[in-house]
Structure 1
Amino acid sequence: MERKSMIAYVNGEFLPENQATVSIFDRGFLFADGVYEVTAVINGQLIDFEHHIARLQRSCHELELTLPYGEAELKQIHHQLIEKNNLHEGLIYLQLTRGNAMTRNFLYPDKDVKPTLVLFSQESSIVDHPKAKFGIEVVTFDDIRWQRCDIKTVALLAASMAKEYAHKHGADDALFTKDGYINEGSSSNCFIVTQDDKLQTRELNNKILPGITRRAILALAQEKGLEVIEKAFRLEDALNAKEVFITSATTLIWPVIKINGQNISEGKPGSIAVRLREIYLQKAKSQK
């Protein structure tokens, strides 16, 4: 099926995506000097938008990167993209870089250099994705990323390498591991359900991204009376868990049924992951 052409946004202009370009001197292109956010769209509505923008603001602050747009203006641009592309379900990608300094220089450019803002949308299945129903198989991959994984930067080569490794080994995705501990997924956070039904995920630090869906799932779990543990867990803990699942904006929750070829529990999606996804979807569909 041929992919339809979409409208993108570049520095104040809405353009056909094949005309949406940036300079070869843009620091996002030369140095990965930029940040991004991906917001899910369900039923034409943005999901957890305010939290995505709050994280974007934090990322900019950590990198001393100017964000010359307020939340209301960014929300308007997102809604315009939804309308122009008739987007019912999918995602909107936002990328902000330090801009085009017209020279390759490692030092940050002068403050008068305007940041580059790019947004585009893509149609994708979120609500009824088969991997949410049947689960995914993952492999582990050594965490070779830099030491500020809490900042959502566009430097995603390690994640690409991990996903490619998973693909070549017949798996759906990869989990980053270090010193025997699981940090997170290649583009997601990772949870386990212990044998006594406690929900566990790594605590927030510079080793993982503070996921927006992670945050929502923890809040839902506490609402439903599940005991939550924010503490690092080892690969062997995941292999012996009752359930394992990953969370992200565009997957919501995908159960993990196999790690490195070994079944998790009975090798099928667990009831807690399934129920949390159902509740999250109910809330997401009611957002305006």
Structure 2
Amino acid sequence: MLMEHVFQCVDDIYDEVVNHGSDELKRTICDLEKIAGHNTPSVIKKGIMLSMTICFNQVQFQDELFEGLLQENLEYMIRHIPEMKKTIQLRVSLRGLEKEMNREIILPYFITLADLAYAVLAIFQAEGHHLFKIESNCGRFGCEQCDQEMLDDYAANVFLSDLHLEKDHQFSLWYDFGEDYVFDIEVLNIQIQSDLFVLEDSQIIAGKGYGIWEDEHELLEMYYKNYDEFLMRIEDYGLDEDDFIFNEFDQDIANEMFMEDFEFLRHVYEDQDEDLW
């Protein structure tokens, strides 16, 4: 239900922008239409969501600020249309349980690192209760709730394409600095498509293992590596196996739930008060 309200809000702003935007903004949209064709509405809505996120982060909601940000974002996208036609195929594995828990996913090459993080966390059933940080040869990029001193930039300000990735490049996503869930990410392929490729086109093409257990990394590893010790440990805690999720990976269900889980995580990280962290 929450996502329906978010999408409705974006649709309403889209209608307002297209019908009542400034002359400069309308000229930019015309330039975009010449390049993006029938994908123009989805590109504009992506720009709207990026602009909304910046306004929320700055706690400023003036129409003039929003329209200026949208203008900048659309101009940036026009310059990067070739990259918006690229897809990136990634293999993502949970460090320490690489054989037991992994995914292969095809994503747009032109997404922010924040969106990449939400995608990875979504396909491993994370609930977004903790901080995250992406580490690569290009730097360290984390969620807005991270201390700025520990980052080179915020993940929402950097695009995946800015990392200049190639096949076989590797980087990582560190989630929950206490439990130390680290997802190793390997680039399997980068391809150019004939049309724009948006997040809704993403596909999970393979996988193993269900997902992580929030706040229970040690027990998760114990379950896979020493089952008898796992049973004794949870008995000491007054728990039994019914308290844990052991479902195997199901590709159809994973793809069906991907966008809903992704949007939920985006809301958790981008629409919540920092004081909650």
Superposition TM-score, scaled by structure 1 size: 0.28
* Structure 1 or 2: more helix by fraction: 2
Give the TM-score of the pair, scaled to structure 2.
0.28
